[in-house]
């Protein structure tokens, strides 16, 4: 659903005007029905993002909370991500709705300080690669406060906290013979890769090619994994694993059309 359509479904919203060049929006609303706080909650999408890859994360990180003004939508989340991922000492962040927006940043305190992080966030410009070209965008984030409470978090707790599970149910399990259902679990390193989170629905759609697969979900238990529940009378782990490791994902859309997309997921044959 587009942003304008999404906002028109919010009670009290009378009209929406978007300005592409400035990445800004004007929302006209009935103050007897809604207010700015409710509108901000309707617009804002919390983000969790692990910047470092598996082998890069320290055994012990620090966490600091800041309040950021002039932070509104997915564009701002994108720009902040591009900004922070250029700093080796920052390992991840998460945002929460608030006035100002609340951000928890996980970092190596031996390499960077909260004040230095603040200065980076308040940069006037961010550069990033898009479609093979280097792009730049003006930004104007303002850090309103830095909490004086600094917390420590270990590697496992960090991964677990930042993990976003996904689940898709293909059939009503209650209508099936439970004696034929088995859970097939395998290691899925890509489940913690934020760049691939948006691809999970496509992988899920691809798995519906096997009529024996009942559900697909991701989880975290010491390591990221995916779990597939299947009917033993219709399929088996070898068929499922082969489907997961296909070169392409065959996706079916709501209108019934199909498309083949490159498979971005890697499923190791072992956990070693």
Select from 2.60.40.650, 3.30.70.120, 3.30.70.100, 3.40.1280.10 the CATH code of 167-262: 3.30.70.100
Q: What percent of the chain has pLDDT over 70?
A: 94
Cα–Cα dist 23/41, whole Å: 18
Residues 208-241 as b/e (b if ≥16 CB within 10 A, e otherwise) read: eebebbbbbbbbbeeebbbbbbbbeeebeeeebe
CB 84 within 8 A of CB 105: yes
3: confidence class by pLDDT, cuts 50, 70, 90: low
pLDDT for 75 beyond 60: yes
- pLDDT for 20: 63
Give me the architecture of the 48-162 domain, per CATH: 2-Layer Sandwich (3.30)
Give me the count of residues in the chain. 272
Give the model's pLDDT for residue 125.
95
Interatomic CA distance for residues 106 and 153, integer angstroms? 9
Rounded mean pLDDT of the chain? 89
The CA distances from residue 181 to 3, 173, 174, 212, 229, in Å, are 40, 9, 11, 9, 7
Q: Where in the chain is the domain with CATH 3.30.70.100?
A: 48-162, 167-262
């Amino acid at each position: 659903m587009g942003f304008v359509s999404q906002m028109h479904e919010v009670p009290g919203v009378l009209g929406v005007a978007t300005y592409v060049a400035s990445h800004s929006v004007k929302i006209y609303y009935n103050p007897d029905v809604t207010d700015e706080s409710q509108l901000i909650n309707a617009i804002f999408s919390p983000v969790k993002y692990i910047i470092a890859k598996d082998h890069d994360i320290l055994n012990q990180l620090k966490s600091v909370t800041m309040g950021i003004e002039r932070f509104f939508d997915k564009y701002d989340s994108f720009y902040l991500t591009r900004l922070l991922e250029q700093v080796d000492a920052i390992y991840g962040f998460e945002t929460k709705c608030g006035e100002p927006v609340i951000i928890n940043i996980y970092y190596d305190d031996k390499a960077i300080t909260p004040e230095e992080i603040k200065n980076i966030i308040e940069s006037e410009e961010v550069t990033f690669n898009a479609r093979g070209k280097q792009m730049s965008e003006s930004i104007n984030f303002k850090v309103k406060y830095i909490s004086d409470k600094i917390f420590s978090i270990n590697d496992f707790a960090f991964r677990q906290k930042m993990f976003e599970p996904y689940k898709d149910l293909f059939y009503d399990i209650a209508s099936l013979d439970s004696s034929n259902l088995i859970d097939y679990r395998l290691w899925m390193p890509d489940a913690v890769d934020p760049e691939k989170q948006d691809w999970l629905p496509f992988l899920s759609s691809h798995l519906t090619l096997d009529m024996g697969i009942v559900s697909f979900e991701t989880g975290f238990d010491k390591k990221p994994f995916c779990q597939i529940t299947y009917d033993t009378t219709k399929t088996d782990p070898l068929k499922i694993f082969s489907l997961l490791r296909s070169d392409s994902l065959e996706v079916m859309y709501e209108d019934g059309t199909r498309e083949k997309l490159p498979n971005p997921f890697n499923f190791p044959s072992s956990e070693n």
